[in-house]
Amino acid sequence: MKAPHETTCLVVDDSAVIRKVARRIIEALGMNVSEAEDGSAALEACAANMPDAILLDWNMPNMDGYTFLQALRRSEGGAAPKVLFCTTENDVGAIARALRAGADEYIMKPFDRDILAAKLEQVGLVADAA
């Protein structure tokens, strides 16, 4: 496992408030954070610099999170990042669909620091987050 300060997390959400909250939590866990406000901006960011983790909203303008994930997993190097959906799409059908598309974890909004830390630990990016 890389040390947290060597890992990067791309936060993809059209809400600036959510991006700010997530950034604060993830930076406090020691990771580096960058942001994108929709799926197409996230694809460009990944093409330039593939992150270790992606925190991904579902419903966004231009390109939604689900479409982004499918495109990411087909792209060069796109199998590597751990993708954590972070969305209000909280029904079991959406979760199953996201997992089939290649998501590693799933966070149901609203979330808090403990949930985000636990999920990043779950995918092996943060050690002993509790």
Partner 1 sequence: MTELEFEYLRTFLKQRSGLALTAEKRYLVESRLTPVCRRFGIATLGELIGSLKLGQDGAIERAVVEAMTTNETFFFRDRIPFDLFRDTILPEALARNASKRRLRIWCAAASTGQEPYSLAMLLQEAGPRLAGWQVEIVATDLSTEVIEKAKLGLYSHFEVQRGLPVQWLIKYFTQVGEQWQIAQSLRSMVDYRQLNLLHSFASLGQFDVIYCRNVLIYFDAPTKSDVLARLAAQLAPGGALLLGAAETVIGLTDRLSPNPKQRGLYGHAEPVGRASEMAAPLRVAAGI
The site for partner 1 (CB under 8 A) is made up of 90-92, 95-96, 99, 105-108, 111-112, 114-115, 118-119, 122, 124, 130
Nearer to partner 1, 66 or 111 (CB): 111
Torsions phi, psi for 87 (to 5 deg) = -150, 165
For residue 21, give every residue at least 6 positions away whose Cβ sits within 8 Å of its Cβ, in sequence order, or none: none
Nearer to partner 1, 76 or 91 (CB): 91
Residue 48: CB minimum distance to partner 1, A: 29
**Which is nearer to partner 1, 8 or 87 (by Cβ)?**
87
At closest approach, how far in Å is the CB of 25 from partner 1?
Answer: 14
Cβ burial 80-108 (10 Å sphere, 16+ → b, else e):
ebbbbbbbebeeeebbeebeebebbbbbe
